[in-house]
Every structure is written in C-alpha cells, then in structure tokens.
Amino acid sequence: MTPAPTKTAVVTGASRGIGRAVASRLARDGFVVVVNYAGNAAKAEEVVREIKSAGAQAVAVQADIANAAQVERLFTAAERAFGAIGVVVNSAGIMKMLPLATAAEEDFDATFATNVRGAFNVLKQAATRVRDGGRIITLSSSTVAMSLPNYGPYAASKAAVEVLTRTLANELRGRQITVNAVAPGATATELFFDGKSTEQIDHFTKLAPLERLGSPEDIANVVAFLVGPDGGWVNGQVLRTNGGYV
C-alpha cells in the first residue's frame, strides 16, 4: 500500500495564476502550504492571508527558481517552517511569444533559465528532500503537442520539463514517490492573456470541444487528484488538461 504523503506542500510560482489556485486548493485539502514567489511579495502574502483566513496554515518564501542556491534555501525554509516535505508542485514559469525568425537570444535564454533550469533546480531538491511516499508535480503545457506558431521556445522548454519529470519518476524507484506533469491548455491567467489579441483569445476559447478556456481551478483540481489518496498509481505521466483539443 502506498504511504500517505506528508501534509506539507511547497508550491512554486504560487502568488498568481495556476500556482495560486493550486496553493489554495491544497490548503483546503488539509495541507500546510509554502507559497513560493519570485518577486511580488505583496501578492504572495495575500495568498497566505486568504489561506489562513480559511483556517489553514501557510507561509510565503521568496526564491527565484532559476537560482539553485535560492531553491535550496526555499526547501530549507519549508522544512524549518513545517517539517518534512510531502508534496512539491513546480508551477513557476514564464511564457514569451517568440517567432523563431525574430526571437532574441536573450528571450530564449530567459525562457529556458526559468522553465528548464528552474524545473531542474526544483526537481533536484525534491529528489532528496521529499519524504518517501510523497508526490512531485511539474507544470508542462499542451503546446508541446501542438507546434503552434510563436510558441517554439516556450513549448521546447516545456518538452524538456516533461523529460526531466519522467526521468525523475524512474530514478526514485523504491521510494513510493510519484512524479508527474500536468500540461494545461489555454487557461484564463495573466500569463495567457498577456500579449494576445481578442481574436487570438476567441480562437483558443473555441479550440476545445467544451468551448471555453480552462480556469486555474480546473488545473488545481487535477493536481489535487495526483497528490491525493486516489492518485497513488499514476506515475511518470503527463496529463494533458485542456478540454480535449489535443
């Protein structure tokens, strides 16, 4: 029987969007939550206040996941605040719309620094600091399966995240830790809306047979399943969570 995960969760990128929804959902499910943020302390503290007002426990910890030393400090702070870590959800990421013909090298490097090196840093710490029976979740993207114009560097970075995720699932053999990726489709967050025209948003809204954008809560529900008692037999998988368009 798979051991129940410790009820301490670290959620990166938890000050807004999907990460915020995940932090709130896990708190409702009985986890104590470490709300990680890169730069917006006010937003992170807002999340903490909301969680505490609902009767749960949370603390905000700053760390840029692209920086290995800061990620190590994040995990140390989590352990000091709440003890052994049972769940890690790496939600932090950036998305730049970059046509390959005109993309700047600096934008490409920034995308990979946060999305790939950041995931590597978080998974590296999680591999040794999540206790046996725990759960590790990364956030990928359904754009990996679509080859959409302007999404090349972003989708490539998320493809790398999927490889790292599956690899870690195999490397943790024998410890009863599951490692999975959730790959949202178009989701109504600031990250999605930034830089898109009304026409583009309408196009993505109608892609799925369900004919709507996903919500951050839709994605948080899938994460909650994977880290909950019913998700223990799902391991090394990428769950495309997009309403059915790919």
Distance CA 134, CA 129 (A): 10
Distance CA 17, CA 144 (A): 20
142 backbone dihedrals φ, ψ, rounded to 5°: -70, -10
Q: Which of 11, 162, 24 is nearest to 87 (CA)?
A: 11
Query: DSSP letter string over 45-61?
Result: HHHHHHHHHTT--EEEE
Distance CA 5, CA 130 (A): 9
Distance CA 130, CA 177 (A): 8
Question: Tokens at residue 94, please?
Answer: 């950036």
Distance CA 18, CA 6 (A): 22
DSSP designation for 233: T
Q: Which of 86, 70, 72, 76 is nearest to 33 (CA)?
A: 86
Asked whether 96 and 144 are in contact (CB, 8 A), the reply is: no
Q: Considering 37, 151, 154, 245, which one is annotated as catalytic?
A: 154
Helix H or strand E encompassing 35: strand 32-37
154 is catalytic: yes
The whole-angstrom distance between residue 194's C-alpha and the CA centroid of its chain comes to 19
Q: Report the catalytic residues.
A: 154
